[in-house]
Amino acid sequence: VPLEETSLPLFFGWFLLPGIQDKVRCTSMDFLKTLDTLEAFKKHLPDFTVEAEKEVDLEQYFQANGALHCTTKFCDYGKAEGSKEYADKSAVKELYGSAFELSLSALFVTPRTVGARVSLSEDQLTLWPADAEKEAVPLVPAAATLPVGSRAHITLGCAEGVEPQQTGFDLLEILALQQEGQEGELVEEMELGSLAYYGKGRWLLSLREPVSAQACFSSLYG
Ligand code: A2P
C-alpha cells in the first residue's frame, strides 16, 4: 500500500539542504547579535518585552527549532482542512522530492518570533495552497488582501512558549502595514541591508542581496 494512502504527513514543505541551513543560521545570529546592540533597538525595548529589563540578549531570547524549512501545507496527519486535496494536487505529486532554489528576501524579528521571508517564484507558487493567507484572516484581517504566497517564511526561532506557526502571522502583519503604505521607520543601513521599524517591537531587515537557498520539496512525518 503506498504511504500516501495510509497517512498524510505532519506537513509538506521545502527543506533547506544542510550547508545552506548553517549559512542561514549564521546570518540570522549575526543579525540578532547586531540588532540588540543598536541604540534604536534599545530605545524601543519596552515595545519588545514587557519585562522591565534594560537589555535583551536576542540570541538567548529565541530558541532555535529543528531543521530549517518553509512549510507549504500543514496537514497534521490529515486532520487539517484541505490536507487530502493538497496531497492530491498534481504539482505536489510531480514535484515531490525535487530540488528548488528559494529566495530569502528579508529577515524579521518580533517579540514572538524571528524568521526569514521567502519570495516564491511562479513555479514555486504552484505548490502554495490557495487559502494559506485566508487561513490567517482571523488573526491578521489584512491578510485577505495580500498576494498569494505572502505568508511563505522560514521560522528561525521562537520566544519561550510561542508556537512556530506564529512566524507566518508576524510576517503577514508587517506586509499588511507595508501594503497600507507604512514604510516603517528607516533605522539603519546595515551591511546585510536596510533595517526598518514597524512599531510594537516589529523589525524588518530587507536583504541587499537575497540569500539563495537550495531546498528539497518533501514532507515530514515527525
Ligand atoms: P512554521 O511553518 O511557521 O515554522 P509543529 O512543530 O508545531 O507541529 O509545527 C510543524 C511545522 O508546521 C512548523 O514549521 C510550523 O510553523 C508549521 N505549522 C504548525 N501549525 C500550523 C498551522 N496551523 N498552520 C500552518 N503551519 C503550521
In angstroms, the first-to-last Cα distance of the chain is 20
The lowest-confidence range among 7-21, 72-86, 88-102, 183-197 is: 183-197
pTM for the full predicted model: 0.95
For 152-190, what is each residue's pLDDT tens digit? 999 999 999 999 999 999 999 999 999 998 888 888 899
Of 89, 82, 78, 98, whose CA–CA distance to 9 is shortest?
A: 78
Cell of residue 48, nine digits: 519588545
- Does the structure show a pLDDT above 80 at 51? no
Alpha carbon nearest to ligand 1 atom 12, residue: 74
Going from the Cα of 9 to the center of ligand 1, the distance in angstroms, rounded, reads 12
141 CB-near residues (< 8 Å, 6+ apart): none
| Whether the Cβ atoms of residue 152 and residue 128 lie closer than 8 Å to each other | yes
Alpha carbon nearest to ligand 1 atom 8, residue: 10
DSSP character for 51?
A: S
Among 69, 74, 79, residue to substitute to test ligand 1 (most atoms within 8 Å of Cβ): 74
- Is the shortest distance between the CB of 166 and ligand 1 below 6 Å? no
Residues annotated as catalytic are 69, 153
